Chain A
Amino acid sequence: MSVVTQPSPADVRAVLDTVPDPEMPPVTIGDLGMVVEITVSGSKVGISLVPTFSGCPATAVIREEVAKAVALLDGVDDVTVRFVRDVVWEPERITARGHEKLHEFGIAPPGSGQTLIQIGGLRGGVRCPLCGSRDTVVDSPFGPTPCRSTNYCRACRNPFEAIKP
């Protein structure tokens, strides 16, 4: 007798925790706190995500990658991924594991001391992810992706990025 398994939302969540962000590959969609809701109804899975920034050009790729990964789960026939607009993404949504991986990747995670005032005043205080010094300056609130600022460490003389507050 064959048993048709139905995935649980936790199974789906476990998959989302492995789908890399296209612009920061060591960090996953789950790590970044982009998952808003998972629904499972029979073999149909619905996933709601929130983009980190509205203008994120990676959303189409993320939608495809997520659908592809979840479709590989046993008992899944249909995956719908949608981006919601009624949730505001904030860096606080990034998980503890996400913090660790950002740090390893050389991006200062939230909580490294960056504030809006520092960004405006271009003063330092963000902990350098490379050497740990706080003798740093904000070069620009804008970086290679909308969610990152560019900074410079005066102690180890390296440029680095930080997740914007």
Chain B
Amino acid sequence: MIDDPRALLALALADDEHVLGARHVQWTGVAPHLEADLAFSSIGQDEIGHAVVWYSLAAERTGTDADALALGRPPDEYRHAVLVERPNGDWGYTIARHLLFDLAEDVRLPALAASSWGALGDATGALRREERYHLLHARAWLARLAGGPPEARERLRAGLATAYPEAVGLFEPFAGEETLLADATLPVPSHELLARWAAAVEAELAPVGLAEIVDRDLRPVTPGGRQGRHTGDFTELWTEMTALYRGDPAARW
């Protein structure tokens, strides 16, 4: 078991991106139209690429390699928020989760840029440049669904209402957060980022009249994904996404 707080932080960031990337690419070939198909394929590829960056940082701390961390751990050692393991559901839920997640990235990455862990801070630059396109995509679909026919708007609203309480879990404190705050590996505590994110979500949804889904009560986040507690949805996804690796971990491609 890994217990280095910096390695665990990098793993949590990596697992969020890896698992959501794995969900996004499940739209490949079956999205409502070709551009949407291409967009989620590309965004998923980006997120998995970002996961590789974080896994590589964790691997430098643990003396392993990125693939072993990404694909060689049992499900209860993954540190992602439960939000990202949920199945894609309908298009409304997919877009809702995409928006809430990418707003969280937009709040978290600038904060991490100032990390005392130089390599981690440096890595945020390229990621932020690429994330701009994800947010553009989420916002374009937010406008389209919110301003669309009643069914589109209702599905988006329902998706947001389902995703929001679990999106809060993206700001569950990291394992060893006190240590990480003490040496400024984390420049900003998770509960402060949660407040910034909730305000960002509200600012995003107010113009389209959907801000009522935002929970203004910023109580401490219930321990879950960051402690390795996941749902059956993840067991299923993990079985699929690690199948090839588990078949022969030493294979060279």
A residues with CB within 8 A of B: 50, 53-57, 85-90, 116, 119-120, 122, 139-143, 146, 150, 164
Contact B50 A55 (CB under 8 A): yes
Nearest chain B residue, comparing its CB with the CB of A120: B136
A53 proximity list for chain B (CB < 8 A): 46, 49, 126, 130
B137 proximity list for chain A (CB < 8 A): 141-142
Distance (Å) between the CB of B29 and the closest chain A CB? 15
B residues with CB within 8 A of A: 35, 38-39, 41-43, 45-50, 52-53, 56, 119, 122-123, 125-127, 129-130, 132-133, 136-137, 139-140
Contact A142 B43 (CB under 8 A): yes
Contact B49 A56 (CB under 8 A): yes
Query: SS class of chain B's interface: helix, strand, loop or mixed?
Result: helix
Contact B42 A89 (CB under 8 A): no
Can you report 8 residue pairs joining A to B where beta carbons are below 8 Å apart?
A54-B53, A54-B127, A55-B47, A57-B45, A86-B125, A120-B139, A146-B42, A150-B38
Distance (Å) between the CB of A51 and the closest chain B CB? 8
Which of A85, A119, A142, A164 interacts with B126 by CB under 8 Å?
A85
**Given contacts A55-B50, A142-B43, could you give 11 more A-B pairs where the C-beta distance is less than 8 Å?**
A50-B126, A54-B46, A54-B50, A54-B53, A85-B119, A85-B123, A85-B126, A88-B125, A140-B35, A146-B42, A146-B130
Distance (Å) between the CB of A91 and the closest chain B CB? 10
| Complex CA–CA separation, A150 to B47 (angstroms) | 20
Nearest chain A residue, comparing its CB with the CB of B52: A54
| Complex CA–CA separation, A114 to B198 (angstroms) | 32
B130 proximity list for chain A (CB < 8 A): 53-55, 146
| Complex CA–CA separation, A53 to B42 (angstroms) | 11
B122 proximity list for chain A (CB < 8 A): 85-86
Distance (Å) between the CB of B131 and the closest chain A CB? 10
- Known contacts A85-B53, A85-B119; decide if A54 and B126 are in contact (CB<8 Å): yes
| Complex CA–CA separation, A86 to B53 (angstroms) | 11
Nearest chain A residue, comparing its CB with the CB of B57: A85
Distance (Å) between the CB of B137 and the closest chain A CB? 7
Distance (Å) between the CB of B62 and the closest chain A CB? 17
Contact B49 A141 (CB under 8 A): no
Nearest chain A residue, comparing its CB with the CB of B132: A116
Contact A142 B39 (CB under 8 A): yes
Distance (Å) between the CB of A28 and the closest chain B CB? 21
Nearest chain A residue, comparing its CB with the CB of B121: A86
Contact A55 B49 (CB under 8 A): yes
A54 proximity list for chain B (CB < 8 A): 46, 49-50, 52-53, 126-127, 130
A139 proximity list for chain B (CB < 8 A): 35
Contact A143 B38 (CB under 8 A): yes
Contact B35 A142 (CB under 8 A): yes
Most chain B CB neighbours (cut-off 10 Å) among A141, A142, A143: A142
Contact B136 A55 (CB under 8 A): no
Contact B42 A120 (CB under 8 A): no
| Complex CA–CA separation, A27 to B171 (angstroms) | 42
Nearest chain B residue, comparing its CB with the CB of A148: B42
| Complex CA–CA separation, A149 to B52 (angstroms) | 23
- Known contacts A85-B123, A142-B38; decide if A119 and B133 are in contact (CB<8 Å): yes
Nearest chain B residue, comparing its CB with the CB of A57: B45
B48 proximity list for chain A (CB < 8 A): 55
